[in-house]
Structure 1
């Protein structure tokens, strides 16, 4: 990407979200969002403010990035709808980045290690996946995305291997994780607990530079991992075979 081209990145999967502007793999501006209503009421205001502070306008953007989840169902819908609207209005490519991928990338320098990001999924569960940091510095996801109970996490980690644990789920369940993994658990410092919009944007840029294939903003969907409460409460229609009497 040229030096004058910016990537606008949006992260609204968690209580703490953010907006960032990335150029050539480096964040040039970033602001955090916090609060239950902040994402919906202030997202576009913050985007415009951040660009004005940088002295940029819409024509300086070359790519849009958005966090896909898993995470807050409402937050994900707000972030994705905003990103889709901008992609349509500005005619820009859009790339969605899984939230757990972005969080795992915080420790990309630890080559050869396993990484396990954990996010609070509510209902006494966490969202997680297992990654291998390759010698090239790339992340390789070696498990599906999961919504599991904390006690189940140790079973996901290959026997005998150490794993880096990071994310907001540690604030709630660190003792359970350590109990299950023992000295194989390496706790990453708390300042890396939250997904950054900058991390989302950097991963999107890397993918764009690799294949120049944007996501289809018309069909791009959040990664929920498990159904929302509204979907879970939908009545199930069960059809019974007819046994007519003649």
Structure 2
């Protein structure tokens, strides 16, 4: 089964092709450029380089958030369009789970992948390896990094923090958790699209019409609109 994985949910853009024999090809960048302009050319280039056509695909897998509101929406929209056009299954995977998978699968402790959410907040969750597979210990959530550190302090395990935004909150984790806080190497901070492909390979098919991103919180414009409607009543 040939699967196409798409991740535009955050700063890094990643595309991968994989089948039962392994990773066929992978494309990833970590630069401030518009995902909406670059993602389709990236998909086309990877298919061309791997000598594949869209008709060769059997499944589309997408990072469903949390992360950048616009980025998540771009990836999900393209994935849904491709799956619908090609009449193939669609699966979604947590953007945090993708980030945790690479370094965390064999870490002897818990893994806290994170994306900065401004105002001292982070998108994060807690994962742990069990028999080489990553399982969720705490659901993906939006929380103040200080409160998250205090919550993690109650457990006895070491915590591996991973993600390119870790440096923004590292001081807090070090102060609260001390030696229990472990920080991934810089080469491990970008989510790998091949991990997305692997995680979603056997995931159940989503209903294309009802599948939506997991933003965790409303976009700022939506939140303001809802608040304005309440004030008018």
TM over 0.5: yes
Match of 2:24 in 1: 28
**Which of 62, 66, 69 is the equivalent residue of 1:70?**
66
Alignment of 1:187 with 2:178, yes or no, is no
Match of 2:140 in 1: 145
The question of whether the paired residues in 2 share the 8 Å contact of 1:126 and 1:169 is answered with no
Task: Name structure 2 gaps, 5 residues minimum.
Answer: none
Match of 2:88 in 1: 92
Of the two, which has the highest radius of gyration? 1
Match of 2:127 in 1: 131
Deviation at residue 89 of structure 1 after TM alignment: 0.3
CA distance in 2, matches of 1:219, 1:49: 30
**Aligned residues: CA RMSD:** 1.8
Count how many residue pairs are aligned between Structure 1 and Structure 2. 230
Residues 34-80 of structure 1: CA deviation (Å, up to 9, x unaligned): 45543111211111111001111122211110001100000111100
Q: How does 1:95-114 map to 2 (within 5 A)?
A: 95-110=91-106, 112-114=108-110
User: Structure 1 runs of 4+ off > 3 angstroms?
Assistant: 33-37
Match of 2:223 in 1: 232
Deviation at residue 217 of structure 1 after TM alignment: 1.3
CA distance in 2, matches of 1:33, 1:25: 25
CA distance in 2, matches of 1:120, 1:132: 21
Q: For the structure 1 residues 25 and 227, does the alpha-carbon distance in structure 2 shift closer, same or farther, using more than 3 Å as the test?
A: farther
**Which of 6, 9, 15 is the equivalent residue of 1:13?**
9
The question of whether the paired residues in 2 share the 8 Å contact of 1:25 and 1:205 is answered with no
Match of 1:44 in 2: 40
Match of 2:49 in 1: 53
The question of whether the paired residues in 2 share the 8 Å contact of 1:127 and 1:148 is answered with yes
TM-score using structure 1 length: 0.87
Deviation at residue 123 of structure 1 after TM alignment: 3.1
The question of whether the paired residues in 2 share the 8 Å contact of 1:97 and 1:203 is answered with yes
The alignment partner of 1:191 has SS state of: helix
TM-score using structure 2 length: 0.92
The question of whether the paired residues in 2 share the 8 Å contact of 1:114 and 1:131 is answered with yes
Deviation at residue 197 of structure 1 after TM alignment: 1.5
CA distance in 2, matches of 1:43, 1:159: 40
